[in-house]
């Protein structure tokens, strides 16, 4: 009954407070790179002015680096510069992503050689999708990079998956099977990371990268973030019967770890089928939408 009341309250609050809010959690960083924490994609748009075309060999600017002999060369030069800008901004944005409570990706790269080697492979493969448009005297380049899948960033991170077991709790007489987990942390000053931890209020890890299956994490992401609970409840990631729990605290220096009541964790982990679904990374975290 208590859980039904919580769900009803979430629905009422959502219809009032989040009626005009978008469901996806999207953030723009210092480099104007857009990180979509709901789809686990990174996008960046860059515009570059075409160099001036000069065909008169007697022109004082003829043949200089910032000019072109024809429109094809002008387009090629501007496209090359736009791609160079994208690469610089993209690298900086990826490096600044928070890996977990301890490290950004750059901090982890600087700390561990094996992690650095795998990370460098990601950039060598150049897996970004590029769309190019020429509008008047500018080239507009859209870059989209997926963090998931065989070519995604998550496949190139040296992370230890599935090396621990879920914590054990006293058996519950009647346990329900849940198809996934939604953790509502919108009321907290919490931040996203690629591999957050979910702890009980007694400090036990009830969901972490060490409990997840590697293949599911790489293919779908260890977790996704959303801001709308109604749409999260309908998301195919977490199935038809997800469990919704309200986080009690966001811990750690960077507020990427979430705590939930121990009795809630015991209820969630009571079913073997629910534990299997958590191993398959069927988890969504709700965070307050941050306008950028």
Asked if residue 291 is part of any domain, the answer here is no
Q: Does residue 19 share a domain with residue 49?
A: no
Q: Does residue 191 share a domain with residue 109?
A: no
Asked if residue 149 is part of any domain, the answer here is yes
Asked if residue 48 is part of any domain, the answer here is yes
Q: Does residue 84 share a domain with residue 107?
A: yes
Q: Which of 113, 131, 156 is the last residue of a domain?
A: 156
How many structural domains are present in the chain? Answer: 2
Asked if residue 193 is part of any domain, the answer here is yes
Range of the domain at 208: 2-24+160-286
Q: Does residue 230 share a domain with residue 173?
A: yes
Q: Does residue 134 share a domain with residue 205?
A: no
What's the first-to-final CA gap in the chain, in angstroms?
39
Q: Does residue 192 share a domain with residue 144?
A: no
Q: Which of 105, 136, 156 is the last residue of a domain?
A: 156
Asked if residue 207 is part of any domain, the answer here is yes
pLDDT of residue 64: 79
Asked if residue 115 is part of any domain, the answer here is yes
Closest C-alpha to 153, from 205, 91, 73, 107: 91
Q: Does residue 249 share a domain with residue 219?
A: yes
Q: Does residue 81 share a domain with residue 61?
A: yes
- Strands 41-49, 138-146: pairing kind: antiparallel
Express each pLDDT in 103-120 by its tens digit.
Answer: 999 999 999 999 999 999
Q: Are 156 and 121 in contact (CB under 8 A)?
A: yes
Asked if residue 292 is part of any domain, the answer here is no
Closest C-alpha to 202, from 169, 177, 165: 169
Instruction: Point out the residues of the chain with pLDDT beneath 50.
Output: 1-21, 291-292
Q: Does residue 141 share a domain with residue 55?
A: yes
Asked if residue 58 is part of any domain, the answer here is yes
Q: Does residue 62 share a domain with residue 12?
A: no
Q: Which of 99, 123, 156 is the last residue of a domain?
A: 156
C-alpha 119/C-alpha 147 separation (Å) is: 12
Q: Does residue 184 share a domain with residue 104?
A: no
Q: Does residue 83 share a domain with residue 14?
A: no
- Beta bridge partner(s), residue 266: none
pLDDT of residue 43: 95
């Amino acid at each position: 009954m208590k859980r039904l009341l919580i769900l009803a309250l979430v629905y009422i609050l959502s219809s009032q407070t989040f009626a005009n809010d978008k469901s996806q959690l999207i953030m723009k960083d210092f480099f104007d790179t857009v990180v979509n924490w709901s789809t686990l994609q990174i996008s960046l748009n860059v515009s570059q002015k075409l160099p001036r075309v000069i065909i008169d060999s007697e022109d004082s600017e003829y043949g200089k680096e910032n000019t072109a002999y024809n429109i094809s060369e002008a387009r090629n030069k501007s496209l090359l510069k736009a791609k160079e800008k994208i690469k610089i901004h993209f690298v900086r944005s990826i490096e600044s992503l928070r890996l977990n409570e301890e490290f950004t990706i750059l901090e982890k790269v600087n700390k561990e050689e094996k992690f650095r080697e795998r990370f460098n492979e990601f950039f060598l493969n150049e897996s970004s999708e590029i769309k190019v448009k020429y509008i008047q005297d500018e080239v507009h380049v859209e870059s989209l990079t997926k963090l998931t899948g065989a070519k995604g960033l998550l496949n190139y991170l040296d992370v230890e998956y599935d090396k621990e077991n879920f914590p054990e709790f006293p058996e519950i007489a009647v346990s329900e099977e849940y198809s996934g987990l939604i953790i509502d942390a919108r009321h907290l000053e919490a931040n996203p990371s690629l591999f957050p931890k979910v702890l009980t209020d007694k400090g036990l890890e009830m969901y972490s990268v060490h409990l997840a299956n590697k293949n599911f994490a790489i293919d779908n992401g260890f977790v996704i973030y959303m801001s709308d609970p109604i749409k999260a409840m309908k998301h195919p990631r977490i199935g038809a019967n997800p469990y919704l729990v309200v986080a009690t605290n966001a811990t750690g220096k960077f507020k990427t770890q979430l705590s939930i009541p121990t009795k809630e964790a015991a209820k969630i982990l009571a079913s073997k089928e629910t534990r299997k679904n958590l191993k398959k990374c069927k988890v969504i975290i709700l965070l307050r939408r941050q306008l950028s």
